[in-house]
């Protein structure tokens, strides 16, 4: 009589359980890494936006007029309105929160899949002061 070699149902169920446990541990860590990388992209976009504001100041001797329809708040006309700046699914909306002749505050508000980001809205001023809209430490998010 030939003896067949195969997995038993119990062995298969144990293997499936182990894979399930590993996936349950790994998936949240993966999601956190994805959110962190999107946040890093938004920080880079904010710095690029700040550079565009400085370029605008060099040309006009004022930070005024960089927003939609020459305004001082809202969506920028001198830089991308979303992050990532090169297109694709937007995860942050870039806006001018406040601009005067000598100062500005830029915001990157999370949207879509990034809306539940623990850091909330990222902000940057003309002096390089970084901020967030949540109670976390700025150093944890920037």
Widest pairwise Cα distance in the chain: 94
Would you state the pLDDT for residue 13?
94
- The pair of structure tokens assigned to 34 is 């994805």
Q: What is the pLDDT along the chain (142 residues), one digit of tens a residue?
A: 677 777 788 989 999 999 999 999 999 899 999 999 999 999 999 999 999 999 999 999 988 888 887 778 888 888 999 999 888 899 999 999 888 888 999 999 999 999 988 999 999 999 999 999 887 888 888 8
DSSP-assigned letters across all residues of 58-112: HHHSSSTT-BGGG-SSBSBSSS-SEESTTSSS--EEEEEEEE-SS-EEEEEEE-G
- Is residue 61 left, alpha or beta, with left meaning phi > 0 and alpha meaning psi from -120 to 50? left
Would you state the pLDDT for residue 87?
84
Place of tokens 């605008």: 56
Would you state the pLDDT for residue 2?
75
Which of 138, 85, 82 is CA-nearest to residue 111? 82
Which of 93, 106, 125 is CA-nearest to residue 66? 106
100-126: per-residue pLDDT in tens? 888 999 999 999 999 988 999 999 999
Neighbours of 69 (CB within 10 A): 8
């Amino acid at each position: 009589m030939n003896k067949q070699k195969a997995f038993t149902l119990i062995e298969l169920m144990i293997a499936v359980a182990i894979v399930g446990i590993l996936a349950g541990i790994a998936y949240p860590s993966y999601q956190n890494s994805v959110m962190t990388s999107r946040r890093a992209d938004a920080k880079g976009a904010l710095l690029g936006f700040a550079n565009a504001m400085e370029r605008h100041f060099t040309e006009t001797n004022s930070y005024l007029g960089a927003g939609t329809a020459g305004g001082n708040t809202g969506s920028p006309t001198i830089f991308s309105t979303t992050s990532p700046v090169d297109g694709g699914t937007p995860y942050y909306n870039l806006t001018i929160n406040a601009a005067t002749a000598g100062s500005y505050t830029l915001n990157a508000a999370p949207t879509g899949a990034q809306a539940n980001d623990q850091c909330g809205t990222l902000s940057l001023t003309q002096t390089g002061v970084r901020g967030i809209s949540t109670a976390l430490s700025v150093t944890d998010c920037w």
